[in-house]
Structure 1
Amino acid sequence: MQDVASKPASATAVTGKRARRGLGLKSLMAVAVGLVVSQGVMVVMLQGVGIAGAAFVVPLAIAWVLALCYAASFSELALMVPRAGSLSAYTEVALGHFPAILSVFSGYVVVAMFALSAELMLVNYLLGVLYPAIEGSQYIAFGILAVFTMLNLLGIDVFARLQNVLAFVMVVALTLLGVSALSGGFAPHSVESSELIAGFSLGDGALTLIALAIWGYVGAEFVCPLVGEARDPERNIPRSMYLGLTVILAVFTLYCLGALFYVPRDVLVSAELPHLEYARAAFGGSGTFLLAVAAVTATCSTVNTSLAAVPRMLQGMAEQGQAFPMLGWLTRATRVPWVAVLFVAGVTGLPLLIWGNDPSTVGLLLISAAIAWLIAYVIAHVNVIALRFRYPDARRPYRAPFYPLPQLIGIAGMVYAIVYASPAPELTHKIFLNAGVVLGLVSVVAVVWIKLVMRKPLFRPEPLNEITNP
């Protein structure tokens, strides 16, 4: 049992040597943007602008700053501990094995269970509304999941080519929608710009929407588990996140403000598919096709990125003895953690079997996922602070600027977002119950695994040199 954690270090070294570094800045940006901009986020952003009007750009900008803070922390960690396990590897040397296991399962495996399932439900529901002949069918959701599972098993080169195309099409479609809506190029505005300016007010509860706006930026750190397959990672990992998050800010600002010229705010808040109402109002009949393209590519991009990044986190955990060894098994030709890919696909498909096509569960799943994700961000910020104290002279190819301000601001912002995660009091109990039950189960499993299988203390950090110099 004592060799469980020592053996995988060499495995990681071999993996790193054999990995094909095929991901440049463009591909890494496609990962950052493609995971963040999902169909669920398209809906959430319109709900936010429906509540606050044009003033929603303020919480959107504040959330962007908080996102830059987590990007700074993840960049420092990823390049200081360049391991496939990502957050688990960083946390292992900063806080110990229990927080390491909890951070990955809460922030990524649970998110795959909740958010990816919600995303597939949403695209299923949207296409059923647009094309009634397929309404009620779950084949689309399972078909998308199956196709991208198989494509990810083919290797990182196939993933990169797909991701570049998906992210480009998605960003172009959303930008076209926003720019066309702002210009009134396809249909006359229902609301004048002077009315929007006159209605601009932070007194409508706009600042309370920071928690909602943060959901529009989570996920850019999915580039970090791909550090072993990135070209010039010391330069491209930080740049891909910063540039990707800035592109997202620009796209969502255009997208949200454009909606106010065509769709009443109460409709944006109450509609099950506000992005469909938006596309129809701004483009007429042709808007449904544009929206279908944007929505399907957003969902496919999110699923594709998750099936590339989360399995590599699990691979790193398996190599460190923090998860079942088979999660680290690699295909010979492409070095893909194939068991981990199949596991993440299975976890994603499970809620689809339980809830089917019920659109009422989408919001609940997304917010439950957000809480788990934000906990992982808090842990990442704490990791940077802990490692700065424990290893002040360690090599850091990238240092988070203005330390410790991004970490302190990030922690405060994420805690605020968790506390105010629920958009309605009646949902608060269900949301925190969902997140609490899953995180409680993960915690119990983690304790049992660490004490009985790894036979290690829960909170004793591993030496940094054993992780970075196997």
Structure 2
Amino acid sequence: MQETQTSVASAPATATTNGKSQGVLGLKSLMAVAVGLVVSQGVMVIMLQGVGIAGAAFIVPLTIAWLLALCYAASFSELALMIPRAGSLSAYTEVALGHFPAILAVFSGYVVVAMFALSAELLLVNYLLGLLYPSLGGTHYLAFIILGVFTGLNLLGIDVFAKLQNVLAFVMVVALTLLGVSAMTGSFAPHAVGAGQLVADFNLGDGAFTLIALAIWGYVGVEFVCPLVTESRNPARNIPRSMFIGLTVIFAVFLLYCLGALFYIPRETLMNAELPHLEYATAAFGGAGTFLVAVAAVTATCSTLNTSLASVPRMLQGMAEQGQVFPILGRLTPKNRVPWVAVLFIAGVTGLPLLIWGNDPGTVGLLLVAAAIAWLLAYIIAHVNVIALRRRYPDASRPYRTLFYPLPQIFGIAGMVYAIVYASPAPELTAWIFTSAGVVLGIVSLIAVIWIKAVMKKPLFRPEPLDELVSDAPSKTND
């Protein structure tokens, strides 16, 4: 089957000038989305746990995970510009593998994960602020205040979201970079451990390669720029660049952040402390460190929440347009074209675990690890989509083509499978985590089968024609 030769770099339905889409989000805003979603408070903790386990050798899994992330960014770039739909992964998978994998990928890999990830982030903010500023009292309610504020701001439109995201991402990156550079140089406090000792302790035999699974959590999420393709300026250039540059910025920031911690904090403390980033900032900056880590943690959480409330609802909007979910999730506000029902839905499922588990982030953290297995499964599906579409539509217009295809896809699939196998943080939790992940995937699969057969009345694995989906995109440009 061949696609009609249609350029597919999408623009919003407003207007185009000189072949350039006139969306709200430029390169800077898209980078803020990519960096802001990935660098969360939970990831700040996970990275320090990794460097606590492996010491300076953690740089090896950190680098390998960065390369794996570049591979999935390449696949998502090719897919997003070939099929520029708000539905993102559901749209790509629909034409590559069929409706069942499309629904499974988005709900298990994004909606469920976002539910637990955002809840865990808000619970961590509760715990941190309550510890740092006891006078605040019932910090549990701060989570609902933050959730309500960012839900309301996202309902105001993508331009408000972009301005907020630029500020949040900038403050967060500056705070973490300042912490890392200061720790590496010993600008504010003398090092507790010398550089020579860190070099002498460098040992890949400390389980460094098994930490690739842990390190990859530091890079998941930059593809959240893809559902915003119809809101982007010059997407053929800015979508790939935002992900690649964003991942490289994240790599550099984490490298400084992780290695700097070894100069001040014993590895055992980094592994076992509930808030190792607080211990780190206090050791490197003294009393001022508590304020710095509070700023970094709060902006990281708000940035992650802001990005998720912008991106995941647009995934649901695209699915609603294709009949894969309830049509009401595709309803837009008349003025700003915001999928308001989907925004409220994501806000609602985010708040639900807060009501159930209160201030106990431990349970949510375990559930997040289980659900994150499904996130990596979504990445595998994205790589398979690229391979399938290259075979089925070799002559289709692709504003971005993956370099060295299919090597990045093969490397990416192998790496994600490895990460899934070693996803458990401890052997005694392996059975629980994989059972929980299986239950999540099973429930989503059952609902998807019933919906496709009873409501959509379509085959589970028959791909939709590419030309129909592309011709139904909001608009097209020759970028």
TM-score bucket (shorter structure): over 0.9
Asked whether 1:382 is paired with 2:384, we answer yes
CA distance in 1, matches of 2:145, 2:81: 36
Once the two structures are superposed, what CA deviation does each residue of 1:325-355 show, in whole Å capped at 9, x if it has no partner?
Answer: 0000000000000000000001111111111
What is the Cα deviation at residue 435 of structure 1? 1.9
Asked whether 1:17 is paired with 2:16, we answer no
Alignment counterpart, residue 465 of structure 1, candidates 464, 467, 473? 467
Once the two structures are superposed, what CA deviation does each residue of 1:408-429 show, in whole Å capped at 9, x if it has no partner?
Answer: 0000000100110001012212
Corresponding residue of 1:311: 313
Secondary structure of the structure 1 residue equivalent to 2:256: helix
Q: Which amino acid aligns with 1:300?
A: C
CA contact (8 A) 2:369 2:424 kept: yes
Q: Which amino acid aligns with 1:238?
A: P
CA distance in 2, matches of 1:313, 1:266: 41
Q: Which amino acid aligns with 1:209?
A: L
What is the Cα deviation at residue 17 of structure 1? 1.2
CA contact (8 A) 2:175 2:292 kept: yes
Matches within 5 A, 1:54-133: 54-133=56-135
Corresponding residue of 2:476: none
Q: Which amino acid aligns with 1:235?
A: R
CA distance in 2, matches of 1:129, 1:367: 25
Alignment counterpart, residue 192 of structure 1, candidates 175, 191, 194? 194
Decide which moves more: 111-120 or 76-85. 111-120
Once the two structures are superposed, what CA deviation does each residue of 1:189-242 show, in whole Å capped at 9, x if it has no partner?
Answer: 100000000000101000100000000000000000000010000000000000
Corresponding residue of 1:7: none
* TM-score, reference length from structure 2: 0.94
Q: Which amino acid aligns with 1:102?
A: L
CA distance in 1, matches of 2:55, 2:11: 50
What is the Cα deviation at residue 369 of structure 1? 3.1
Asked whether 1:33 is paired with 2:29, we answer no
Corresponding residue of 1:134: 136
Identity level (%): 80
CA contact (8 A) 1:32 1:222 kept: yes
Matches within 5 A, 1:357-368: 357-368=359-370
Corresponding residue of 1:270: 272
Corresponding residue of 1:217: 219
Decide which moves more: 317-326 or 361-370. 361-370
Alignment counterpart, residue 394 of structure 1, candidates 383, 396, 399? 396
* TM-score, reference length from structure 1: 0.96
CA distance in 2, matches of 1:467, 1:362: 37
Unmatched segments (≥5 aa) in structure 2: 1-8, 16-21, 473-479
CA distance in 1, matches of 2:130, 2:119: 16
Once the two structures are superposed, what CA deviation does each residue of 1:378-423 show, in whole Å capped at 9, x if it has no partner?
Answer: 0000000000000001111100111000000000000100110001
Corresponding residue of 1:8: none
CA distance in 1, matches of 2:260, 2:468: 52
What is the Cα deviation at residue 132 of structure 1? 1.6
Alignment counterpart, residue 436 of structure 1, candidates 435, 438, 441? 438
Q: Which amino acid aligns with 1:132?
A: P
What is the Cα deviation at residue 121 of structure 1? 0.7
Structure 1 residues 328, 238: closer, same or farther in 2, change over 3 A? same
CA distance in 1, matches of 2:130, 2:146: 15
Unmatched segments (≥5 aa) in structure 1: 1-12
Once the two structures are superposed, what CA deviation does each residue of 1:61-104 show, in whole Å capped at 9, x if it has no partner?
Answer: 00000000000000000000000000000000000000000000
Corresponding residue of 1:5: none
Aligned residues: 458
CA distance in 1, matches of 2:367, 2:252: 27
CA distance in 2, matches of 1:256, 1:356: 30
Once the two structures are superposed, what CA deviation does each residue of 1:346-374 show, in whole Å capped at 9, x if it has no partner?
Answer: 11111111111113225313312321210
CA contact (8 A) 1:127 1:135 kept: no
CA contact (8 A) 2:129 2:139 kept: no
What is the Cα deviation at residue 137 of structure 1? 3.1
Q: Which amino acid aligns with 1:191?
A: V
Secondary structure of the structure 1 residue equivalent to 2:444: helix
Secondary structure of the structure 1 residue equivalent to 2:298: helix
CA distance in 1, matches of 2:49, 2:364: 14
CA distance in 2, matches of 1:343, 1:467: 26
What is the Cα deviation at residue 14 of structure 1? 12
Corresponding residue of 2:300: 298
Secondary structure of the structure 2 residue equivalent to 1:17: coil
Corresponding residue of 2:449: 447
CA contact (8 A) 1:40 1:366 kept: no
Asked whether 1:150 is paired with 2:146, we answer no
Decide which moves more: 123-132 or 297-306. 123-132
What is the Cα deviation at residue 38 of structure 1? 0.2
Corresponding residue of 2:239: 237
CA contact (8 A) 1:125 1:136 kept: no
Structure 1 residues 453, 429: closer, same or farther in 2, change over 3 A? same
CA distance in 2, matches of 1:159, 1:433: 37
Corresponding residue of 2:428: 426
Alignment counterpart, residue 246 of structure 1, candidates 232, 248, 266? 248
